[in-house]
Structure 1
Amino acid sequence: MIALHQVVDALEALPTTAFLVLDQGRTVLDHGTTTTPGFLASARKSVLSVLYGPAVADGTIRLDATLDELGIDDIGGLLPQERRATVRDLLTSSSGVYHPATAAAGPEDDAPARGTQPPGALFLYNNWDFNTLGTIFERCTGRPVFAALAEDLAAPLGFEDFDPARQRLLGRPDVSEHLAHHLFLSARDLGRLGTMLLQNGRWNDRQVVPASWVAESTSVQVDRGPGVQLDYGYLWWLPRILGRGSFLAIGNFGQYLLCVPPGLVIVHQRAVPDDTVLARTQGTPAPNPIDSVSPVQFMKLVRAVQAALRS
């Protein structure tokens, strides 16, 4: 397919490590090292959302449970208002809790002063929310996040490159007691995850994730208003340009998992050295600059793939 050769040419001009396209589970394009586990950066948060599905469905985790009910606190203490934030508020990055996060700083650097925004009032991409969701998952389920990843996703989906020893709990415990669960997965294993989600949570004859959770978590929970391209679900970005039903995980440096109904899955990865990962999570300068693949560049690749599949 000539048009796909044009996609490969575009990839060669980028610092792409792996690029995988699946359509209805069939491999359309496999470029780069798609079998090597890579750092997901913030794309990890969308995987955590998937893990939440069974626990929410069976009542182990209640979306309306507050931080106070769950006994969640942090260094220096949370404010009374912050303790009223619910699990749902954290899943939509709208908790109003602007306690410093343990790992790399991000948009929350520009957060309002603590106690000025009630829970649920303001969407602000906030690593404290995401890291604390890992703590909540482990306390409510009694299972480590990494064990759930292995047992609930890697095993039933038949991940081929999953390495339990690569997963890392990182951050600075002197800043926050809620550390970041960083994941390392290959492009082809992420492709299986995306395909399963587009099949309403089913893989072969097994319902891996409740269909109701797939629908709810990837639907608009935060309409971000005019002038933006991405709305938000439960830890998933929702690209307006691709139409309702599409959902996207985004990680720094160029980590993407895009799912477009009925069956298109596109994975892009940019390898990040371990010393850079450690530096970011410890709040220190990276040893060497890393070229990134921006969301704009990724979406150009997506459009080229879609055009090739139509030709």
Structure 2
Amino acid sequence: MSKGWLLFTLLLLTLTARAEDWPGEQWPTGQAPSGPSIEALEQYAFAPRDDATRQGIRTDALLVIQDGRLVYERYAGPTDAQTPHLTWSISKSLLATVFGVAYGEKRFALDDPAAQYYPPLKRHPDMTLADLFHWASGLDWQEDYEYAPLNSSVVAMLYTRGRHDMAAFTAGHDSFSPPGQVFRYSSGDTNLLAAALKNIVGPAQYADYPWTALFEPLGIHHATWETDASGTFVGSSYAYLTARDLARVGLLMQRDGRWGDRQLIPKDWVTFNREPFARFRAGQDEAVPGGHWWLNRGADPTIRPWPDAPPDTFAALGHWGQALYVIPSARLVIVRYGDDRDGSYRHDELLKRAMAAFAGTVQP
């Protein structure tokens, strides 16, 4: 190849290479799609809002990041771009992401006994941290809110006799199966992890650790995470972030734990988050549990909770319609905050319409 052709080729590669976008203080923006597909998405997500009866789909925020750029954003109700929204159980996946930083610092191993870091679990010596991340502690737990509040373990933990020390309340439950054998969704399992984190990173660092480990490196400056009276984060439920800030966590996960030129979370931790729990059975929940994230694929390939979304889709999900969807194959991150009270919202329907609106505009 002549020197002239070599220079031309290098120039062409330079011009055609697409720089990787990362947010600074603000998100870089991209061209939003228009036309029937985006109208169909909005017709579903932002149907006429009934705040009097709280019936129907009531989206507070919908935000889409594509190739690291903000390409769509709309708010409704009392929420705007500056509102730290209650994430409910998205907090569980946020806690798992914080743990990912500690894992990279080699502070624990997944097969460590949970009692090593939270001594009240000594009566359950076979329970590991991995069992808690899979919601497979084996503890007898009822995760009911509106439907059976008087028999609900989670209502008692958050609001009545367990609220002062949620981990201790959970640890006091009896077992219904050996650890690691059966999936049973439990906010208590998450709050045991939140208590274990205190000893994993040390009490002196604990109160600031989610910020120093995760939020500050991502440029998240206005997150709130409530604690119970014992000073333990309510990892199950009570983190508050703006939609734009939550999308930063999604981009971190979409890019396998990398933020800019820093591998903030090890790739093998993200792999653990995205690996289906082998003992999950179809119909046990609305999606497949991974390592404290929700997946669109099971160990059994016939399990596909959201058939209109790519199989590599994974998500952090919360009560009343909170969702952070990550779709690596389409290089999409979608944040959806809501106030849905009647169960009419469907993840697959929104994902189907979002894919129709945005997947066709993904750059090669």
Please say whether Structure 1 and Structure 2 have the same fold, judged by a TM-score greater than 0.5: yes
Q: Is the 8 A contact 2:323 2:336 kept in 1?
A: yes
* Residue in 2 that maps onto 1:236: 293
1:187-266 correspondence runs (5 A): 187-227=243-283, 230-239=287-296, 240=304, 241=306, 242-262=309-329, 263-266=331-334
Shift of 1:178: 6.4
The 3-state SS of whatever aligns with 1:139 is: helix
Q: Is the 8 A contact 2:64 2:73 kept in 1?
A: yes
Pairing 1:186–2:254 present: no
Q: Is the 8 A contact 2:258 2:264 kept in 1?
A: yes
Shift of 1:71: 4.2
The 3-state SS of whatever aligns with 2:350 is: helix
Q: Is the 8 A contact 2:101 2:214 kept in 1?
A: no
Deviations along 1:72-92, whole A, 9 cap, x unmatched?
21xxxx573x23211111010
* Residue in 2 that maps onto 1:268: 336
Letter in 2 for 1:10: Y
The 3-state SS of whatever aligns with 2:119 is: coil
> Whole-Å Cα distance in 2 between the matches of residues 57 and 204 of structure 1?
17
Q: Which range moved further: 203-212 or 94-103?
A: 94-103
Letter in 2 for 1:15: R
* Residue in 2 that maps onto 1:168: 226
In structure 2, do the counterparts of structure 1 residues 35 and 5 end up closer, same or farther at CA, with 3 Å as the change threshold? farther
> Whole-Å Cα distance in 2 between the matches of residues 115 and 72 of structure 1?
17
| TM-score computed with the length of structure 2 as normaliser | 0.68
In structure 2, do the counterparts of structure 1 residues 247 and 103 end up closer, same or farther at CA, with 3 Å as the change threshold? same
* Residue in 1 that maps onto 2:212: 151
The 3-state SS of whatever aligns with 2:346 is: helix
* Residue in 2 that maps onto 1:298: 347
In structure 2, do the counterparts of structure 1 residues 68 and 157 end up closer, same or farther at CA, with 3 Å as the change threshold? closer
Partner of residue 4 from structure 1, selected from 38, 61, 67: 38
Deviations along 1:228-287, whole A, 9 cap, x unmatched?
65211111010233344321111101110010113111111126xxxxxxxxxxxxxxxx
Structure 2 gap segments, 5+ residues each: 1-33, 48-56, 142-152, 161-172, 297-303
* Residue in 1 that maps onto 2:68: 25
Deviations along 1:19-63, whole A, 9 cap, x unmatched?
101111122210112331111111100011111113223331221
| TM-score computed with the length of structure 1 as normaliser | 0.79
Partner of residue 121 from structure 1, selected from 181, 191, 194: 181
Shift of 1:197: 1.1
Q: Is the 8 A contact 2:115 2:122 kept in 1?
A: no
Q: Is the 8 A contact 2:118 2:192 kept in 1?
A: no
Q: Which range moved further: 295-304 or 185-194?
A: 295-304
In structure 2, do the counterparts of structure 1 residues 196 and 38 end up closer, same or farther at CA, with 3 Å as the change threshold? same
Shift of 1:67: 3.1
* Residue in 2 that maps onto 1:131: 191
> Whole-Å Cα distance in 2 between the matches of residues 169 and 83 of structure 1?
26
In structure 2, do the counterparts of structure 1 residues 71 and 226 end up closer, same or farther at CA, with 3 Å as the change threshold? closer
Shift of 1:296: 4.5
> Whole-Å Cα distance in 2 between the matches of residues 293 and 170 of structure 1?
29
Query: Of the two, which has the highest radius of gyration?
Result: 2
* Residue in 2 that maps onto 1:96: 138
Structure 1 gap segments, 5+ residues each: 106-112, 272-290
Q: Is the 8 A contact 2:226 2:233 kept in 1?
A: no
Q: Which range moved further: 186-195 or 234-243?
A: 234-243
> Whole-Å Cα distance in 2 between the matches of residues 157 and 223 of structure 1?
34
Sequence identity (%): 27
Q: Is the 8 A contact 1:21 1:28 kept in 2?
A: yes
> Whole-Å Cα distance in 2 between the matches of residues 211 and 293 of structure 1?
38
The 3-state SS of whatever aligns with 2:323 is: strand
In structure 2, do the counterparts of structure 1 residues 192 and 67 end up closer, same or farther at CA, with 3 Å as the change threshold? closer
* Residue in 2 that maps onto 1:309: 358
Partner of residue 58 from structure 2, selected from 6, 12, 15: 15
Q: Is the 8 A contact 1:36 1:185 kept in 2?
A: yes
In structure 2, do the counterparts of structure 1 residues 223 and 231 end up closer, same or farther at CA, with 3 Å as the change threshold? farther
The 3-state SS of whatever aligns with 2:72 is: strand
Partner of residue 54 from structure 1, selected from 81, 101, 108: 101
Pairing 1:66–2:113 present: yes
> Whole-Å Cα distance in 1 between the matches of residues 222 and 272 of structure 2?
30
Q: Which range moved further: 218-227 or 292-301?
A: 292-301
